[in-house]
Amino acid sequence: MLALPADLANSSDRTESIRLWTVTTKAIAQGFDKKVPLTHQRFLYFPLMHCESLLGQIAAKGLYEGLALRCSDGDPKSKKFADGRVEFAQQHRYECHCKI
């Protein structure tokens, strides 16, 4: 069974939160995120960043760091976006009290 962060399990829109978390984590686990264009990868990681859990914040930051590295060789728009998401994930973790 998939272990969900507490905030997802208690969300007012629990069904949608669970669906997004499940789709996202399964897609990443199966490598789907690396099979789609860089411009699409950046959206796949959103549910992790916005799940308000420490695990999601750490995962999102790491995934966006990897995306920024993959964009370094020729997709400056996606690299700039990914760099911004890394910074946002770091800040958001502190704003939602998900400190490590």
Query: What angle in degrees, to the nearest 10, is found between the helix axes of 54-71 and 76-95?
Result: 160
Say whether pLDDT at 99 is over 50. Answer: no
Q: For residue range 5-64, what is the model confidence (pLDDT) as tens digits?
A: 544 445 556 777 788 888 999 999 999 999 998 888 888 888 887 776 778 888 888 898
What pLDDT score does 100 carry? 45
Q: For residue range 51-98, what is the model confidence (pLDDT) as tens digits?
A: 767 788 888 888 988 888 888 777 788 788 888 888 887 777 666 655
What are the residue boundaries of the structural domains of the chain, listed by start?
Answer: 36-100
SS (H, E, C) 75-97: CHHHHHHHHHHHHHHHHHHHHCC
